């Protein structure tokens, strides 16, 4: 399967010379980090039994009587060229599908623009409020220190709410390790599906994704930012382990790593529980219509210990098998 790189157009509403220099990295890294859910850092975790690397993949087949099989692939939304080409079993499952279901259809420029617009609007502090008034002094100083180390002007973050700063910093920490949204698993599959004129179904809307953060109180955003700064310190090792777990198809290791990330604990119900229910309902509906569905969603939605999408499909009568 040919892999394509997607070039993003920077929205023109971010004006100003400082934004022109930095908004591409910050904005679109933030969008992909938002899709990823678990973005940086880890705590010590229990070691899971290690399967033979490459024996299985983060790919599952879900079968239910009276409906075509559904294939589900756990995505890494920021990746690099070392993730490609895919193992043949993934290519074969994708080739046999007629519909690709993803969290968002990132082929649609309007979707990218809307997501960016919502993040720019809902991630901004209310008029008359300053970041100094919102953040505790020590947290403000931590952000300032990190940005100085990264040689990024703090001024570009000051108009934004804590959650927006946390999402952006976390995504930037990942990109500093060499991964990029251009190589994201879902981005590549969406581009290929578009080339092959497969039907594409967006499971969520930009508003549903952004509202996970924007509808919450700033106090949660402050805690999210605190957790994120703690996790960024070990981003390099975390990202490396995530990449290896994906390439080896080690679902247990991926689960341990994602659940060890404390940064988004305060949003867990909105990020995972409620979204997993919506995803399972959409996938079941598509299968019931007789669609040959290939699903690509963030790996956390498939391997989480609590009601992940696979467990919810199991409750709906699907037989689940990892491939």
Cβ-based neighbours of 50, under 8 Å, separated by 6 or more: 250, 253
Structural domain includes residue 16: no
Structural domain includes residue 219: yes
pLDDT mean across residues, the chain:
84
Q: To the nearest whole percent, how much of the chain has pLDDT over 70?
A: 83
Question: What integer pLDDT is reported at residue 53 of this predicted model?
Answer: 85
Structural domain includes residue 232: yes
* 74: nearest Cα among 302, 307, 321, 313: 302
pLDDT per residue as tens digits for the range 243-300: 999 999 999 999 999 888 766 677 888 888 899 999 999 999 999 999 999 999 999 9
pLDDT per residue as tens digits for the range 21-48: 344 444 445 554 554 444 444 333 344 4
Structural domain includes residue 166: yes
Rg value, the chain, Cα = 19
Structural domain includes residue 116: yes
Question: What integer pLDDT is reported at residue 34 of this predicted model?
Answer: 52
Count of domains for the chain = 1
Q: Could you tell me the CA-to-CA distances from 118 to 16, 121, 122, 184 in Å, in that order?
A: 19, 5, 6, 22
Cβ-based neighbours of 167, under 8 Å, separated by 6 or more: 30, 33, 34, 39, 123, 213
Q: How many CB atoms lie within 10 A of CB 116?
A: 23
Secondary structure (DSSP) of 93-106: HHHH-SEEEESS-T
Tokens at 109, concatenated: 């420029």
Structural domain includes residue 114: yes
Question: What integer pLDDT is reported at residue 234 of this predicted model?
Answer: 86
Q: Could you tell me the CA-to-CA distances from 144 to 11, 140, 166 in Å, in that order?
A: 26, 6, 13
State which residues form the domain around 162. Answer: 30-42+55-322
Q: To the nearest whole percent, how much of the chain has pLDDT over 90?
A: 58
pLDDT per residue as tens digits for the range 46-94: 444 445 687 899 999 999 998 999 999 999 888 899 999 999 999 999 9
Mean pLDDT in residue range 119-145: 94
Quickly list H helices, 123-201: 131-134, 137-149, 162-175, 185-195
**Better-scored residue on pLDDT, 318 or 176:** 318
Question: What integer pLDDT is reported at residue 296 of this predicted model?
Answer: 97
Structural domain includes residue 240: yes
Predicted TM-score (pTM) of this structure:
0.84
Structural domain includes residue 22: no
């Amino acid at each position: 399967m040919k892999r394509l790189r997607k070039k993003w157009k920077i929205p023109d509403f971010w004006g100003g010379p400082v934004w022109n220099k930095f908004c591409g990295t910050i904005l679109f890294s933030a969008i992909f980090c938002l899709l990823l859910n678990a973005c940086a850092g880890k705590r010590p975790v229990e070691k899971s039994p290690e399967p033979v690397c490459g024996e299985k993949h983060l790919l599952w087949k879900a079968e239910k009587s009276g409906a075509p099989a559904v294939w589900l692939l756990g995505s890494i939304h920021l990746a690099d060229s070392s993730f490609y080409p895919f193992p043949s079993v993934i290519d074969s499952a994708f080739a046999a599908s007629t519909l690709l279901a993803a969290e968002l259809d990132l082929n649609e420029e309007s979707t990218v623009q809307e997501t960016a617009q919502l993040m720019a609007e809902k991630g901004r502090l209310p008029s008359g409020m300053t970041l100094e008034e919102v953040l505790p002094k020590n947290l403000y100083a931590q952000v300032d220190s990190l940005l100085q180390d990264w040689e990024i002007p703090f001024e570009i973050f000051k108009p934004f709410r804590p959650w927006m700063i946390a999402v952006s910093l976390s995504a930037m920490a990942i990109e500093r390790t060499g991964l990029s949204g251009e190589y994201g698993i879902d981005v590549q599959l969406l581009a290929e599906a578009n080339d092959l004129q497969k039907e594409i179904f967006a499971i969520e809307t930009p508003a549903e994704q952004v509202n996970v953060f924007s509808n919450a109180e700033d106090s949660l955003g402050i805690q999210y930012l605190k957790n994120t700064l703690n996790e960024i310190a070990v981003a390099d090792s975390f990202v490396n382990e995530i990449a290896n777990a994906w390439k080896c198809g080690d679902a247990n290791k991926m689960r341990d790593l994602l659940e060890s990330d404390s940064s988004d604990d305060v949003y867990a119900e909105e990020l995972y529980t409620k979204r997993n229910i919506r995803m399972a309902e959409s996938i079941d509906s598509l299968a019931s219509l007789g669609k040959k569905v290939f699903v690509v969603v963030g790996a956390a939605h498939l391997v989480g210990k609590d009601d992940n999408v696979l467990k919810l499909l199991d409750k709906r009568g699907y037989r689940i098998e990892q491939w």
